[in-house]
Structure 1
Amino acid sequence: MPNNELFILSVLTISILCILVILLVYLTIRKAIDIKRREKIEKYKEIYNPLIFQLLTEGSYSRALTPESPLQQKAIEELLSRYANVLEGEEESKRLTEFASMHLTEYYRKQLKSKKWSTRMNTLYHIDDFNMISLLDDVYGLTKKNRLSHEELVHILRILALFQFQPLFQMLTNNYQYLSEYDYRHILIRIEKQQFDQFVLHFYKAELPLQKAVLEVISIKRERSYLPFIENSIHSNTGEVKLRSLKALAEIGYVKNINPYLDLLYSTKWEERMIAAKLIGSLKVEKAMPGLIELLHDQSWWVRYQAGQSICQFANGKDILRKVLETSNDVFAKDMAWEWLHKGV
């Protein structure tokens, strides 16, 4: 029996060693193939780079830029990705899109049907970067797939927003009501005003995440035309929606009548006091200065911090902070005044 066990153990050991050797050989060969592949791609990039640069900057096209193999397509794709991240001119970006559409549309169309999640996602990123509206129908078609990851769905919707896809409003308000505020915001930020107005009109029927996203996008874009909507939202809502509306107003930095908002400096909610302080700082309302000075003594650090920042936005803000530092008996107010006096020094 011991001899049999020893024999079996020896056979298993040899088998495992053989498997490890085979695996090592496979990985070595695979690595060598990958290195060779990468070297070829880099050589193609050296050839294509000046030609693509000339195409994008001057509009002159060379027949040598027509890819004839997957490696050549990969080289062109990598170069276009690099240029897409640095191009600022509208004409150059348009040329990049036209070139990518001419040579990569069919390739990406096949890649979108890949069973590999990573392949599909990378393809979506490239379609996005290159603004390839030629693949609009293919991208939209993906939304009808049964098995679609959350990451894929959100990126598909972001691309549809980039292409100003008209049915997107119905999709977001009827089919995808379960998305997060973060998801909605990254989609809506790409929509142009005419279509975004649909979401503003739909605001009071929307779920809270979509409402917050709409307000956040207005904050980011600082679009004055939405002031009546924002002010109405402040007076018609409470809680998070009211706070987001106040934030949007502060970011826009303009109101016709500041008086309705001055009382918010004395709100029982610290969030409202903080955002009111931000609004006063944006508008530089002199008569609200006593309220800002009082907020330097607030129990909330966030309110004190915003009050200090807002006071700094006034022409005589530094002088006021020095006076607080010299005369106040409140340690927290003195600390905040000192902090803003020495910021950037």
Structure 2
Amino acid sequence: MFSNNMQSFIILNIYILIIVNVILLISVYYQIIKDKIKKKRYEKKSIYLKPMIIAFLNDENHEVQVKRELKNNYLKMIAIDIMVEYAEANHVNLSTQFVSLNLVDLVIKKLRKKLNIIYLKKLALMGSEQAYDILMDFAQSEDLDISYMSYFGLARINAQKDKKIAAIQQLVRSDIFRDRIIEILRQFDLAFEEWLELLEKEESVKGKIIFIKVIMIKDDILREDYSDHLEKFLNDQREVKIAAIEALGNSRNAKYIDVLRRIYENEENWQVRVAVAKGLSSFKFESVKDVLLKMTKDSEWWVRYNAIKSIVAMGEDGLFSLIDLSLESSDEKISDLAYYFLNANHDVYNTVKNIEV
């Protein structure tokens, strides 16, 4: 009797398991079919709307027609996607057009009702000043994805200077990783003098490093009257000093060679000496040859490594010196390191091969 009951119980459970799996399978297929239908519907509406929307973007006289077609929020969301794609492909700012079609307000209302990263991204890509306040609020989120996307959107807004500065200062104080902060800041449209002003007013080490790294890749760093502002940061804390050395190197102004040489000769910290080795790579080889060759004999391996790396980056003159170094140096460690660069680096190998030919 007990055996029969157990057998019935097992069979019942097998049936239940089969039924559950069938239901799950049906659910999966239903979702796949549903997604396909949604995708086809989206594609069909997008194909229909796209010519009208692009016509409107090229001629605002089509605005009434487009508004008439955008009968519901679903169609408006498709219009947003079309316009964002167009703006990205053609590198144009469509913030005015987004506002004129009432699309910015629509996304803001949805986000106020429920925060959603997909809608936040759409709002960020619109670049509309109407979104400034809500993006500033969301930027303070503890969720770094939300915070990052909000600041990304703020960087795209052509707002008044005081609003840009407020967003920048809030961003610099945020918990976003430093490299990501620098990445976003480089999207803000500020004059070089305004970046310098922010740097000179900044009190935190983190902020100074960030602003110097933002400034150092801009073309205006080549102007002596601008790059001179960075010299005083050579007397700041170590990380700030390192950033300033890199920036002065990027200026390519030969007047700073002696400044960097003196720093190397008097600097105890090896990380700062490494920064000098890297910074000297931006100058003409003959002007920095002596100091770089001296650095190949430094007591710290990373300094020697970066000195030789800088020599490699200086073209044929640098390579000839490196060949001499690998053959003639009385220090086996130096000659081995020089030989390593000549032998291991594919670009260097091809360059040497071309020289030989």
Supply the AA of the counterpart residue of 1:15: I
Deviations 1:7-65 (A, max 9, x none): 44444443343333333323322221211111121122223334444444566636257
SS state of the match for residue 242, structure 1? helix
TM-score normalised by the chain length of structure 2? 0.76
- Report the alpha carbon displacement of residue 68 of structure 1 after superposing the two structures with TM: 2.3
Give % identity: 16
Map Cα deviations across residues 167-215 of structure 1 (whole Å, 9 max, x no partner): 5655765797352423432343233136544531332x22x33232122
CA contact (8 A) 2:323 2:338 kept: no
Tell me how far apart the structure 1 counterparts of residues 113 and 328 of structure 2 sit (CA, whole Å). 70
The alignment partner of 2:62 has SS state of coil
- 1:78 aligned to which of 78, 81, 92: 81
Q: Secondary structure at the match of 2:217?
A: helix
Query: Contact 1:281/1:314 (CA < 8 Å) preserved in 2?
Result: no
SS of the aligned residue for 1:34 comes to helix
Q: Which runs of 5+ in 2 are unaligned?
A: none
Moved over 6 A (4+): none
Choose which of 123, 130, 137 in structure 1 pairs with 2:126.
130
Secondary structure of the equivalent of 1:190? Answer: coil
**Corresponding residue of 1:104:** 103
Out of 128, 131, 155, the residue aligned to residue 149 of structure 2 is: 155
Structure-2 separation of matches of 1:272 and 1:153: 33
Kept in 2: contact 1:296–1:333 (CA 8 A) = no
* Change in CA separation of 1:210 and 1:12 when aligned onto 2, cut-off 3 Å: farther
SS at match of 1:61: helix
Letter in 2 for 1:217: V
AA aligned to 2:128 is M
In the superposition, the TM-score normalised over structure 1's length comes to 0.78
Offset of 1:250 from its aligned partner? 1.5
Is the contact between residue 230 and residue 249 of structure 1 (CA under 8 Å) also seen in structure 2?
yes
Alignment of 1:1-345 (within 5 A): 1-56=2-57, 61=62, 63-64=65-66, 66-88=69-91, 93-94=92-93, 96-101=94-99, 102-115=101-114, 120-142=116-138, 148-163=142-157, 164=159, 166=162, 169=165, 177=173, 179=175, 180-191=177-188, 192-193=190-191, 196-197=195-196, 199-203=198-202, 205-206=203-204, 208-224=205-221, 226-234=226-234, 236-254=235-253, 256-266=255-265, 267-284=267-284, 286-298=286-298, 300=301, 303-310=304-311, 312-313=313-314, 316-329=317-330, 330-337=335-342, 339=345, 341-342=348-349
Structure 1: gaps spanning 5 or more residues: none
- For residues 121 and 269 of structure 1, the distance between their equivalents in structure 2, rounded to whole angstroms, comes to 44
Paired positions, count:
332
Specify whether residues 123 and 56 from structure 1 end up closer, same or farther in structure 2 by C-alpha distance, changes over 3 A only: same
Q: Distance in 2 between matches of 1:143 and 1:215?
A: 23
Distance 1:241 1:304 in 2: 22
Distance 2:170 2:239 in 1: 23
For residues 102-144 of structure 1, the C-alpha deviation after alignment (integer angstroms, 9 at most, x for no partner) is: 25223312331353x5xx2222222222212222233234457
- State the Cα RMSD in Å: 3.5
DSSP 3-state at the match of 1:105:
helix
TM-aligned CA distance change 1:6 to 1:13, over 3 Å: same
